[in-house]
Chains A and B, each alone.
Chain A
Amino acid sequence: SAVISQKPSRDICQRGTSLTIQCQVDSQVTMMFWYRQQPGQSLTLIATANQGSEATYESGFVIDKFPISRPNLTFSTLTVSNMSPEDSSIYLCSVEMGLAGGDTQYFGPGTRLTVL
């Protein structure tokens, strides 16, 4: 599996501001994913980020609100723009790696965001 790190691990932000979350992987991966997990809920996919192409957003998520960069095969950022308290959540970066039998997703440690 890969070693995945995220920065920051947590933050408290004011309404109307933006936060950029970084995800770094210790090996080159083609596909990276960004998820949101609200308290007591399961994982909701925000977007898929492939290097060299635009991110693909899931229904309910738009690029203006959650711009994503993927400059190389080991790094991605997710920005949460113009934040409101409803954006308070854990944001998780995930990568896909191939194992014998199939591809599997591994998760970073997450970024806990609180918006006041």
Chain B
Amino acid sequence: QKEVEQNSGPLSVPEGAIASLNCTYSDRGSQSFFWYRQYSGKSPELIMSIYSNGDKEDGRFTAQLNKASQYVSLLIRDSQPSDSATYLCAVRPGGFKTIFGAGTRLFVKA
């Protein structure tokens, strides 16, 4: 079983819609969770971090964490073509190592 699992996609949504990206993780003791955005040919860029159960909002982005279900998600409201990228879920089980998922490719159609 992979430690961090994401649907590889591609996920295609129309401009202005809500994009929902999901991630599950295997280590129940994980405490820190991150979403990175990676444009083609570029390095990952941190967009959200979340540490406690519930929702965390930052502009058009909302991260949701449910530790009991070992599930973390990212919602992108009012999706724009510029949001088209690969989104990496990352989990920190403890210590200094961060485990990255394989990423979900998102396409926002104009």
Contact = CB atoms under 8 A, between A and B. Distances in A.
Interface stretch (A60-68, A70-78, A81-89, A100-108): A100-108
- Which DSSP category, helix, strand, loop or mixed, fits chain B's interface? strand
Interface in B82-110: 88, 90, 92, 96-98, 100-103
A44 to B, nearest CB: 9
Given A43-B100, A96-B96, A101 B51 contact: yes
Nearest to A99: B49
Interface stretch (B21-29, B40-48, B72-80): B40-48
A101 B43 CA distance: 24
Contacts, number: 46
Given A42-B88, A42-B103, A45-B97, A104 B44 contact: no
B107 to A, nearest CB: 15
Contact of A104 (B31, B46, B103): B46
A110 B38 CA distance: 12
B49 A107 contact: no
A90 B38 CA distance: 13
Given A48-B97, A104-B49, 11 more contacts: A41-B102, A42-B88, A42-B102, A42-B103, A43-B100, A92-B44, A102-B51, A103-B96, A105-B46, A106-B46, A107-B45
